Amino acid sequence: MSEEKIKDLEAWFEARIANEEKIEPKDWMPEKYRQTHIRQMSQHAHSEIVGMLPEGNWITRAPSLRRKVALLAKVQDEAGHGLYLYSATETLGISREEMIEQLHSGKAKYSSIFNYPTISWADIGAIGWLVDGAAIINQVALCGTSFGPYARAMVRICKEESFHQRQGYEIMLTLARGSNEQKAMAQDALNRWWWPSLMMFGPRDEDSPNTAQSMKWKLKRKSNDELRQQFIDQTVPQADLIDLKIPDPDLKWNEERGHYDFGPIDWEEFWQVVKGHGPCNKERLAARKNAWANGEWVRDAALAYSEKQKSKELNKAS
């Protein structure tokens, strides 16, 4: 294709998106659109899968059967969400195996939040309330994204995730209204998860060079800082209601802005975790690699069985 032809196609493509049309897998798309989507969607899928690990840690130790079935259902949802997203990404021409290899080699990232440990039961509450709360804000914005399979996956995911946040908040509320020790446990979890949750929205706008392109393709509807502010504004009253204290001495309602002001985020910590130096990066990746390696014989056996059944049927027919 000539350069001029590609330019025409690109202009036509951008106009379609501006016009709220959806792009479907077999449509022509600029290579950069394809690659950006493969990167973002596969990392989103990996985050769902790795995200099962910190919570899976507490399934066998949930304090009641009610909590246990809820946590099991939540973790199972995350597996499902990972699978929706992997297959949506495959429509762009990358194989499942390649994506998994990229995760294992470190080429593809996953959300840094899952590199923090879950050291007490209250962490399960904090994750549901804060981490899923932040994820929902990011994901609701993506329900209207331009790539059809991604948007459809996000609609299903958002529908299923609101219970995740509610069950987390219910855990926090129960602990906060319990004994002094239980309340202290909830406060400690909030202290540890608050700042990493704010980091989930990504770097400050001035350090986020791809925002303009992402807005054009509707991969973003609002900037990182806008979404972060929205999360803070909605979460602070929820903390107040259960009498837990947000660990930020600078947090203060700003009447003029109509928003909460908040203290500086430790971006050095953020980049350290992204680069692999968080508390659990090695453990998480090792768990995924082991699961993949230990499951290989099962995958092979299932395929061998299906091939054998197929050849038996062929023999019968002939």
Interacting residues toward other proteins by CB under 8 A: 24, 26-28, 73, 76-77, 80, 83-84, 87-88, 90, 95-97, 152-153, 160, 299-300, 302-306, 309
3-state secondary structure of 259: strand
Using a 10 angstrom Cβ sphere, with 0-12 exposed, 13-18 middle and 19 or more buried, the burial of residue 7 is: exposed
Neighbours of 285 (CB within 10 A): 19
Strand partners, 70: none
3-state secondary structure of 23: strand
Kindly tell me which of 24 and 205 has the beta carbon lying closer to other proteins.
24
Nearest-approach distance from CB 115 to other proteins, in angstroms: 26
Kindly tell me which of 152 and 222 has the beta carbon lying closer to other proteins.
152
Kindly tell me which of 94 and 219 has the beta carbon lying closer to other proteins.
94
Neighbours of 173 (CB within 10 A): 18
Nearest-approach distance from CB 305 to other proteins, in angstroms: 7
Kindly tell me which of 205 and 313 has the beta carbon lying closer to other proteins.
313
Nearest-approach distance from CB 27 to other proteins, in angstroms: 5
Nearest-approach distance from CB 137 to other proteins, in angstroms: 22
Please give the Cα distance from 76 to 70 (Å, whole number): 10
What does 102-125 look like in DSSP terms, one character per residue? Answer: HHHHTSS---GGGGS---SHHHHH
Nearest-approach distance from CB 89 to other proteins, in angstroms: 11
Kindly tell me which of 83 and 184 has the beta carbon lying closer to other proteins.
83
